[in-house]
């Protein structure tokens, strides 16, 4: 098996990201530095399929190929999606030791809602890459009521700094709240779009990623996806 594929199957990252790690000289097999044509031979163990020689990234041995796991978390405000063990607010402290799970994208620390967690590197790659233009749905409340011109401006695309956002779907929910469906994933996009039009976001909640919805999951809780949810999510990224 090609080394980049092996690293993706362990859940470390996508295959493309694994190729970059190899290119940058951060991966070794046994006592040899790996390159772009390196391959691994697999052996079956009680804990899964692993390489016959130890594969290390930045000097850290990588685990066997794990069974794929898919979870959703209702992230609360204050949880940081960066996996930093020294940060008591880090998402890392909410995740199980096994299987190793990684968030698909991020939610700002001051935002809440649906966060998809998985060790499926290929699924992560497809959901994250901008060329696939997957839909993410949010409910947003502003600091004051807005008029219909705001809805039209947001839907058409907003310019701030050196970017102009793509057109998006907008639906009013109340005098001061709306639903927005994005296919982009720019940093703090909704907050910056709103700010550019003179408003401040006071609550931002992601309620859906493609076919996957938050439903009635309590805030701060997580659960495994059902087989039907996994199948529908996979179908939406084909």
* 124, 140: one domain: no
* Whether residue 200 has a cis bond before it, omega within 30° of 0: no
- Higher per-residue confidence, 9 vs 160: 160
Q: Is the pLDDT of residue 204 over 80?
A: yes
CATH number at residue 34: 3.10.290.10
**Among 38, 61, 84, residue at a domain's last position:** 61
- Give the Cα separation of 236 and 238 in Å (integer): 6
Look at residue 203 in the predicted model and tell me its pLDDT: 98
The CATH number of residue 116's host domain is 3.30.70.580
pLDDT band at 67 (very low <50, low <70, confident <90, very high): confident
Same structural domain, 229 and 111: yes
Average pLDDT for residues 9-37, to the nearest whole number?
Answer: 88
User: Is position 216 annotated as part of the catalytic site?
Assistant: no
**Omega of the bond leading into 79 within 30 degrees of 0 (cis):** no
Residue 46 has pLDDT above 70, yes or no: no
Select from 61, 88, 104 the last residue of a domain.
61
What is the residue-wise DSSP string for 119-175? S-HHHHHHHH-GGG---EEEEEEESS---HHHHHHHHH--EETTEEPPP-EEEEEET
Higher pLDDT, 42 or 70: 70
Active-site residue identified among 108, 120, 176, 216:
108
**How many structural domains are present in the chain?**
3
Residues 227, 118 share a domain: yes
113 shares its domain with 221: yes
Q: 69 near 119, Cβ under 8 Å?
A: yes
Please compute the mean of the pLDDT values over residues 116-138 and round it to a whole number: 82
Q: Look at residue 140 in the predicted model and tell me its pLDDT.
A: 98
Does residue 73 have a pLDDT over 70? yes
Percent of the residues in the chain that have a pLDDT greater than 70, as a whole number? 97
Is residue 57 domain-shared with residue 85, that is, in the same domain? no
Q: Are 53 and 166 in the same domain?
A: no
What is the pLDDT averaged over residues 111-139? 85
Tell me if residue 8 falls in helix, strand or coil.
helix
Point out the least confidently predicted range of 90-99, 189-198, 207-216.
Answer: 90-99
Does residue 232 share a domain with residue 205?
Answer: no
Interatomic CA distance for residues 124 and 102, integer angstroms = 9
- Given a cut of 90, is residue 180 above it in pLDDT? yes
Whether residues 215 and 205 share a domain: the answer is no
Domain that holds residue 188: 135-209
Phi, psi dihedral angles at 88 (to 5 degrees): -65, -20
Residues 123 and 231 in one domain: yes
Q: Examine the domain organization and report whether 146 and 195 are in the same domain.
A: yes
| Residue ending a domain, choose from 41, 61, 81 | 61
Instruction: Clarify whether residues 118 and 228 are in a common domain.
Output: yes
Q: CATH code at 165? A: 3.30.70.1560
Reported confidence tier of residue 48, pLDDT bands at 50, 70, 90? low
Q: What is the token pair recorded at 128?
A: 């994250």
205 in the same domain as 139: yes
Is residue 90 helix, strand or coil? strand
Which stretch of DSSP H or E encloses residue 192? helix 189-196
pLDDT tops 70 at residue 131: no
pLDDT digits (tens, 9 = 90+) for 145-176: 999 999 999 999 999 989 999 999 999 999 99
CB 90 within 8 A of CB 83: yes
Q: Mean pLDDT lowest for which of 21-25, 40-44, 70-74, 124-128? A: 124-128
Cβ(48)–Cβ(65) below 8 Å: yes
Reported as a single tens digit per residue, the pLDDT across 90-124 is: 998 988 877 778 888 889 999 999 999 998 877 88
């Amino acid at each position: 098996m090609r080394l980049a594929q092996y690293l993706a199957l362990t859940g470390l990252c996508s295959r493309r990201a694994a190729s970059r790690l190899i290119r940058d000289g951060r991966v070794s097999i046994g006592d040899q530095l790996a390159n772009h044509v390196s391959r691994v031979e697999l052996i079956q163990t009680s804990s899964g399929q692993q390489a016959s020689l130890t594969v290390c990234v930045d000097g850290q041995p990588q685990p066997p190929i794990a069974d794929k796991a898919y979870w959703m978390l209702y992230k609360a405000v204050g949880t940081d999606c960066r996996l930093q063990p020294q940060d008591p607010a880090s998402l890392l402290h909410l995740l199980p030791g096994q299987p190793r799970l990684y968030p698909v994208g991020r939610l700002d620390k001051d935002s809440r809602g649906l966060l998809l967690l998985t060790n499926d590197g290929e699924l992560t790659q497809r959901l994250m890459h901008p060329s696939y233009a997957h839909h993410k749905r949010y409910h947003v409340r502003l600091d004051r009521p807005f008029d219909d011109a705001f809805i039209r401006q947001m839907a058409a695309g907003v310019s701030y700094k050196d970017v102009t956002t793509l057109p998006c779907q907008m639906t009013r929910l109340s005098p001061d709240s709306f639903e927005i469906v994005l296919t982009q994933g720019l940093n703090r996009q909704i907050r910056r779009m709103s700010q550019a039009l003179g408003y401040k976001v006071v609550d931002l909640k992601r309620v859906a990623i493609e076919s996957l919805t938050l439903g009635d999951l309590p805030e701060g809780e997580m659960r495994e996806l059902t087989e039907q949810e996994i199948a529908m999510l996979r179908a939406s990224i084909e």
